[in-house]
Amino acid sequence: MKQHVGRLLLNEPLARYTSWRVGGRADQLYIPADLDDLRHFLQGVDASEPIYFIGLGSNLLVRDGGVRGTVVLMHNVLTALKMDAGLVYVEAGATCAKLAKFCAKEAKQGAEFFAGIPGTLGGALAMNAGCYGSETWNVVKRVITINRHGELNTREASVFMPGYRHIDMPVADEWFVAAWLDLPNGDAQFSAQKIKALLAKRLASQPLNMPSAGSTFRNPAGDFAARLIEVSGLKGYIIGGAQVSEKHANFIVNVGSATALDIELLIKHMRDTVLEKQGIALQQEVKVLGELEVRK
């Protein structure tokens, strides 16, 4: 078997790879050199070993006890962006911000919303990320996935069942490594201006100067999670080093000393309070990974 050439880090702290800057250690973290290297690495992982893929760690809470198993870091690894027979080909490690700018430069319209998603394409595909009225899977033509045996599969978008901030995978233990996006021709200048306006709106409404993980809860039908949290009197509420943002109530910010447990307890308090005061059960958007107990 070919020797893998990526970086394998043992007992690696994950706080530096998540946007909240919290979380325990991964048993092992693998940073592949390229797609071929990732294939060879996965072929050598034991069948019983749990495997998790992360990108920018921007929709992710890693618990203080860390992650048993292998975490594969995709950010800054698979980042190709190119035109391919009229479609936009993009790899899973490319940031959504770079994708939006590339599409604008190529005068492809309808990808501007990606500028408002603080993650990689892989994460956007996995959760059908969206903002400002658009969603990832609205523009996907087909994807390439990889399974835990290192096998690649090209699948048409039609075999996936996208929902709100959710995607049903037709096969278990597969992860996205690339996609082709089908976008109409547009005007490069118009798209660039739209991205600029969108980023200005985001900067004005979101606490981008502090560690956070984006939206904590999904918006319930016909309403906004931020509004429900705010009218429940929770803006600025603090547990430990975690605070409900004063700027956007659906964001939790790390004010400097938060643990993952602080954040998880605050999420529970927000959900319980909104249910009690507004009668609405908020659904969590943030994914939680790992163990509560820190190993001695």
The CATH number given to whatever domain includes residue 226 is: 3.90.78.10
Task: Please tell me whether residues 100 and 178 are part of one structural domain.
Answer: yes
Domain for residue 103, yes or no? yes
- pLDDT digit string (tens) for 210-250? 999 999 999 999 999 999 999 999 999 999 999 999 999 99
Q: Is there a contact between 119 and 212 (Cβ–Cβ < 8 Å)?
A: no
Task: Please tell me whether residues 179 and 226 are part of one structural domain.
Answer: no
Residue 25 tokens read as 């250690």
For residue 96, the surrounding DSSP H or E stretch is helix 96-105
Number of domains composing the chain:
3
Domain for residue 296, yes or no? no
Domain for residue 166, yes or no? yes
Task: Please tell me whether residues 85 and 190 are part of one structural domain.
Answer: yes
- pLDDT digit string (tens) for 166-215? 888 888 889 999 999 999 999 999 999 999 999 998 889 899 899 999 99
Whether 1 has a pLDDT exceeding 50, the answer reads no
Domain that holds residue 103: 81-204
| Per-residue confidence (pLDDT) for residue 74, from 0 to 100 | 93
Average pLDDT over residues 255-275: 97
What's the whole-model pTM score?
0.91
With a pLDDT cut of 70, the percent of the chain lying above it is 98
Whether 294 has a pLDDT exceeding 80, the answer reads no
Task: Please tell me whether residues 97 and 121 are part of one structural domain.
Answer: yes
Give the 3-state secondary structure of residue 56: coil
Whether 2 has a pLDDT exceeding 70, the answer reads no
Out of 38, 56, 73, pick the residue that ends a domain: 73
Out of 16, 41, 73, pick the residue that ends a domain: 73
- C-alpha span between 260 and 108 (Å, rounded): 40
Out of 53, 73, 93, pick the residue that ends a domain: 73
Q: Is there a contact between 114 and 100 (Cβ–Cβ < 8 Å)?
A: yes
Domain for residue 190, yes or no? yes
- C-alpha span between 258 and 255 (Å, rounded): 7
Q: For the chain, give the mean pLDDT.
A: 94
Domain for residue 2, yes or no? no
Domain for residue 271, yes or no? yes
Q: Is there a contact between 89 and 153 (Cβ–Cβ < 8 Å)?
A: no
Indicate which residues carry an active-site annotation: 165, 215, 285
Task: Please tell me whether residues 191 and 226 are part of one structural domain.
Answer: no
Task: Please tell me whether residues 185 and 100 are part of one structural domain.
Answer: yes
Average pLDDT over residues 4-13: 92
| Per-residue confidence (pLDDT) for residue 140, from 0 to 100 | 97
- pLDDT digit string (tens) for 108-165? 999 999 999 989 999 999 999 888 788 999 999 999 999 999 999 999 999 998 888 8
User: Can you spell out the DSSP letters for 140-208?
Assistant: EEEEEEEETTS-EEEEEGGGSEEETTEEE-SSSSEEEEEEEE---B--HHHHHHHHHHHHHHHHHHS-T
